[in-house]
Amino acid sequence: MGDVNEVVIIGSGPAGLTAAIYAARAGLEPLVIEGYGAGGQLMITTDVENYPGFPDGVQGPEMMQMFRAQAERFGTRFITADVSRVDFSERPLRMWVGDDEHAANAVIVSTGASARWLGIEGETRLMGRGVSACATCDGFFFKDKPVVVVGGGDTAMEEALFLTRMCESVTIIHRRDEFRASAIMARRVLENPKITVRWNAVVEDVEGEEVVTGVQVRDVVTGEEDVIPAAAMFVAIGHQPNTSLFEGLLDMDGEGYLRTAPESTYTNIDGVFACGDVQDTVYRQAVTAAGSGCMAAIDAERWLEAQEAGAGDHAGAGASAD
């Protein structure tokens, strides 16, 4: 099994790396198992213009490199691989990367969430060049241009409404004749003169050589196909939290997001903390993920300190199982 780490952090987006910076500066010598997709969702973003401290913006991958360098500077260790299995049933907490076992007194889970994609050719080819899953991040680049939003849930409504502030027009493409979104959000969308809805329509492909120029749609009722001219396609068909490793161990909501106790990062297992998008169904921003990563490191540090002081189970704030 080898030495027992004070803290192992699983995942290396803004939440995990901020937790690493704080844990490292607290002398906990964290080990970050960063995953093969190290850096998280920002690695597929281009310019980040809403992260405070970068008045001229910063490229997503470059920002994650800076986060990583800062964590490394204070003694964070990294393993670039995915955790394949965990066992949190006894102390120390244990996890495996293939056959290699790692043990820890505390674990911070920051495995993030992944945007769901349509799975069509043009989507991959034009990713970051008009295809996006984040209007808050990328909407500004399509100022005064026509754009498309795919999806019929609250995220699609929110993205579409946000985009009306800067874009010329917004077309929502939804596969049914009724939104899944809450009534109030749907009403706001339907009352907005800048938004048009294409009901019963699915995206067949995205057009454009270098950048998006249009979206091919098919009417699922009539079978008719046409192209909606657009400079961007925002895919808002939901997110998938990366929590399959923790099924049956950590409390999750119906969608698979980890549950944390209010105003903390405590999960239902003592010594296991969760931060970032893996437990955030509301904000999902780099800066909020970083903030919760800081919280997780502080929670872990205090929890470990209490264990050492013999205070026993300090984790009274453990998440409820409801």
Residue with smaller CB distance to ligand NDP, 96 or 117:
117
Q: If binding is defined by CB under 6 A, does position 29 make contact with ligand NDP? A: no
Instruction: Clarify whether 167 is annotated catalytic.
Output: no
- DSSP secondary structure, 242-286, as one string: S-GGGTTTS-B-TTSPBP--TTS-B-SSTTEEE-GGGG-SS---H
Hey, what are 44's tokens? 């597929």
Minimum CB–partner distance for residue 119 and ligand NDP (Å) = 7
Q: Which residue is nearest to ligand NDP (CB)?
A: 153
Beta strand segments in 122-280, E: 131-132, 146-150, 169-173, 195-198, 201-207, 214-219, 225-229, 232-235, 239-241, 272-274
Stretch that binds ligand NDP, among 29-37, 79-87, 187-195, 235-243 (CB under 6 A): 235-243
> What phi, psi does 135 have (nearest 5°)?
-65, -35
The one segment of 2-10, 31-39, 237-245, 264-272 that binds ligand NDP by CB under 6 A: 237-245
Residue 118 makes contact with ligand NDP by CB under 6 A: yes
Whole-number Å distance between alpha carbons of 319 and 246? 15
180 touches ligand NDP (CB under 6 A): yes
281 binds ligand NDP (CB under 6 A): yes
Q: Of the two residues 6 and 123, which places its CB atom closer to ligand NDP in the complex? A: 123
- Nearest approach, Cβ of residue 255 and ligand NDP (Å): 7
> Which amino acid is residue 135, in one-letter code?
A
In 3D space, the residue among 265, 272, 258, 260 whose CA is nearest the CA of residue 290 turns out to be 265
Residue 145 sits in the site that holds ligand NDP (CB under 6 A): no
Active-site annotation holds for 56:
no
| Strands of the sheet with 214-219, listed across from one edge | 201-207, 214-219, 225-229
Q: Which is nearer to ligand NDP, 176 or 187 (CB)?
A: 176
Q: Binding residue for ligand NDP (CB under 6 A) from 132, 155, 260, 292?
A: 155
Catalytic residue (choose from 137, 167, 275, 294): 137
* Catalytic-role residue among 47, 138, 251, 280: 138
Q: Phi and psi at residue 245, in whole multiples of 5°?
A: -60, -25
CB atoms within 10 A of CB 222: 8
The single residue of 134, 167, 275, 294 carrying the catalytic annotation is 134
Shortest Å distance, C-beta 99 to ligand NDP: 37
Contact residue for ligand NDP among 152, 241, 271, 293 (CB under 6 A):
152
**Sign of the alpha-carbon dihedral angle for 45, 300, 279, 52:** negative
Helix (H, G, I), strand (E, B) or coil at 79: strand
Residue count at the site for ligand NDP (CB under 6 A)? 16
Q: Which residue in 145, 175, 194, 218 binds ligand NDP (CB under 6 A)?
A: 175
Q: What's the DSSP call for residue 127? A: B
Catalytic residues: 134, 137-138
Per CB under 6 A, residues contacting ligand NDP are: 118, 150-156, 158, 175-176, 180, 237-239, 281
